[in-house]
Amino acid sequence: MSFRQWYDGRISEAKGRLKIVILGSYCLIDRLRELKRYLIGNGYKETRLVADFSYPNKESWESDEEYNYRKSTMVIKYGQVFIFVFFDNVENQGVVTEIDFLAHKAQQKTQFSKVLIEDSYRDKLSSMVVGLMRLHKIDHALFKDDNELKKLAHGACFRCLHMLM
């Protein structure tokens, strides 16, 4: 076996085990699902949206906020790589909360995160979010269309794959 065959086999095997979570506004869930399908098609078999997880039932004593916090904890514990997507013309507050949650509850995972921002949304992004990304050194990039979104997400996953190998 050549080195190249050995290396390609190792990469393929590692891609299949890498646990990726895509987080974005569910107003555009079809675009998020398409990104998920793209990553799976490129060998990242363990790619999930937050909606893909099975959650325990809400306890009678839990408020909605407590339950959502518990669910976020599960997702953060599962994932190794996190792709946060900000789309234009939708509510992105959930994504902001999830980035904040990751930055404060799982700081060691921020280096394996990528924030992707639709170019037309750039000027609408809160300075608080930009400050959070800079403070926690969360990588980010702008995308113009879904093809660019897919390529940037794929590149982020590949970079993280090598960091985790």
Place of tokens 């924030």: 115
| Mean pLDDT confidence for 136-146 | 97
Nearest to 21 by CA among 88, 104, 99: 99
133 located within any domain: yes
Share the mean pLDDT of the chain: 93
Total-model pTM: 0.91
12 located within any domain: no
Q: What are phi and psi of 86, to 5 degrees?
A: -105, 115
- Cα(first)–Cα(last) distance of the chain, in Å? 21
Residues 6+ apart with CB under 8 A from 24: 31, 32, 84, 85, 86, 87, 92, 95
119 located within any domain: yes
Domain that holds residue 116: 19-164
pLDDT digits (tens, 9 = 90+) for 26-46: 899 999 999 999 999 999 999
10 located within any domain: no
| Total of domains in the chain | 1
